[in-house]
Structure 1
């Protein structure tokens, strides 16, 4: 008997810092989306691919639901809703002890209007009290009829197999779009730039990391197998540039060392990474500049 193939797109939605990117990486089994403790780490739509036997799941990680304060923020919100409008299934990730608000209500209403089934993935249940979890489930149930409610821990992976089973059951029949061993459709040069930004997000504080973007200027494999990568770090102020570079280049060196280790792990090859910093005032409100960034392009 011939096995019936299934394939579909799954958007991962939710507020900032609820664990969407961590969950995506856990489901895929590899790092395809950068993670940091700071909100708005994810700025664009990240595609992760998982093929389990006859079923291919194409995950779309999205920025967190927030009130935009720049043209960059506007683009991020458009990414969320355009992704939510054009998928086979949505997974709404929520913190197990946080009640839903207006953003979640607007999102599930939009999903219902478009006829898109939605699974509620309650993250951090291992760190939440049972009474709080039950109240959260009740509030969400009053907002929307979910296809399933699955408790998970994005950090440890608990509940992820159950979530994948629920996703598989809801996906339509169809031929696979990507090769069965594919993990993402993001170019390696984009992933490299994002891995540098991940380390900046972890190392910097207050508003500075949100005013930083990274762009790969050069990505060349050498005859000896080493890959040489030049990444430009763009920030908004001269004072921010000084902090990013650090005293005698200490911050930039630290960020570069950590980023190179992550890139080498991704590429499974030695990497020579060069970083430099440039100031572009108010780049987050520069529509032309945003349109030229490869990390903001639809892949």
Structure 2
């Protein structure tokens, strides 16, 4: 069985407008908020690269993801965090704790709010958490492309009246409207420091983890109801072959999609295996673009009862996140 190469940790990603890092500023920014507020979409937008998977399903992000932006002003390290929610399983408790830790550790806290959602008890809970955090704080009112201006202004005023935010920034992470303004403001509040990471590094997470996440993204795209919350992807096999001349070698990947109930296997496989084939085809195309080489992908649906409470499995997922 092969392993993911460490080369990815220092891989030079093609990035438009990439510039040399100065030693002027460097710091961390925690992107926090409720599920589906657009945190992952925003981080990808600010990085101009896809690091975090995205979907319209709540609780898509399960771990704290690190994205690194290096440019002439310095280095900004983003923490994309799971959305705050009421945890019902060990996995969910770990997700919420991950978000709390990021909020307390970051140099700047950026609360992302969905402009299409009414203010509720979950938002009040988020405000109380942010209020207790140290350092500069700002709130981004996201998805402004989906609301009319008259309904947006009261939302902006509500958060401005809280008296805890240094900035209130309306944006659309999807279209990019307001993203440059937000980025300029984030740079303003970062401390002076030398960069933490090499300027070529976009994320600290290994290929194996990001590959499993991209497969899970395709599972989320193809499922609904409770399935998105009860599935996970683990890699069982990874082997890289040598290329010939200018032709890159192939990556052979076997992955298991975990489900909690036996009846869910049939839903994922689909009639005549059509559903799992659709997921596999979409994932393979995405992985070939991501890894920049041919990919052979074999998916298997595995019944793993109560995996969200399984200490061993959850610990392995945490290790995969950092490559240990």
Interval containing the TM-score (normalised by the shorter chain): over 0.9
Deviation track 1:245-296 (CA, whole Å, cap 9, x = no partner) reads: 1122211111011111111121111111111111111111223321222477
1:251 pairs with 2:270: no
Checking the alignment, whether the CA contact within 8 Å between 2:159 and 2:168 is kept in structure 1 is no
1:220 pairs with 2:239: yes
Q: How does 1:132-151 map to 2 (within 5 A)?
A: 132-151=151-170
Q: How does 1:55-134 map to 2 (within 5 A)?
A: 55-134=74-153
Q: Could you tell me how far apart the structure 2 residues matched to 1:269 and 1:171 are?
A: 38
Pick closer, same or farther for the CA change 1:116–1:110 going to 2, 3 Å: farther
Query: How many residues in Structure 1 have an aligned counterpart in Structure 2?
Result: 297
Q: Could you tell me how far apart the structure 1 residues matched to 2:164 and 2:148 are?
A: 24
Q: Could you tell me how far apart the structure 1 residues matched to 2:221 and 2:197 are?
A: 32
SS of residue in 1 equivalent to 2:155: helix
Structure 2 unaligned regions, length at least 5: 1-21, 244-248
Q: Could you tell me how far apart the structure 2 residues matched to 1:287 and 1:144 are?
A: 41
Q: Could you tell me how far apart the structure 1 residues matched to 2:73 and 2:198 are?
A: 12
Checking the alignment, whether the CA contact within 8 Å between 1:99 and 1:139 is kept in structure 2 is no
- Higher mean Cα deviation, 78-87 or 105-114? 105-114
Checking the alignment, whether the CA contact within 8 Å between 1:7 and 1:173 is kept in structure 2 is yes
Checking the alignment, whether the CA contact within 8 Å between 1:120 and 1:148 is kept in structure 2 is yes
1:194 pairs with 2:200: no
Q: Could you tell me how far apart the structure 2 residues matched to 1:110 and 1:244 are?
A: 38
Q: CA offset at residue 6 of structure 1?
A: 0.8
- Higher mean Cα deviation, 209-218 or 189-198? 209-218
Tell me what 2:37 maps to. Answer: 18
Q: Could you tell me how far apart the structure 1 residues matched to 2:161 and 2:311 are?
A: 40
1:169 pairs with 2:188: yes
1:291 pairs with 2:310: no
Tell me what 1:37 maps to. Answer: 56
Q: Give the TM-score normalised by the residue count of structure 1.
A: 0.94
Q: Could you tell me how far apart the structure 2 residues matched to 1:129 and 1:54 are?
A: 35
Q: Could you tell me how far apart the structure 1 residues matched to 2:253 and 2:24 are?
A: 39
Q: Could you tell me how far apart the structure 2 residues matched to 1:65 and 1:200 are?
A: 22
Q: Could you tell me how far apart the structure 1 residues matched to 2:56 and 2:144 are?
A: 18
- Higher mean Cα deviation, 231-240 or 281-290? 281-290
Q: 2:294 aligns with which of 270, 276, 279?
A: 270
Tell me what 1:28 maps to. Answer: 47
Q: Could you tell me how far apart the structure 2 residues matched to 1:97 and 1:209 are?
A: 23
Give the alignment's Cα RMSD to 1 decimal: 1.7
Tell me what 2:260 maps to. Answer: 236
Tell me what 1:181 maps to. Answer: 200
Q: CA offset at residue 238 of structure 1?
A: 1.3
1:205 pairs with 2:229: no
Checking the alignment, whether the CA contact within 8 Å between 2:209 and 2:320 is kept in structure 1 is no
Structure 1 unaligned regions, length at least 5: none
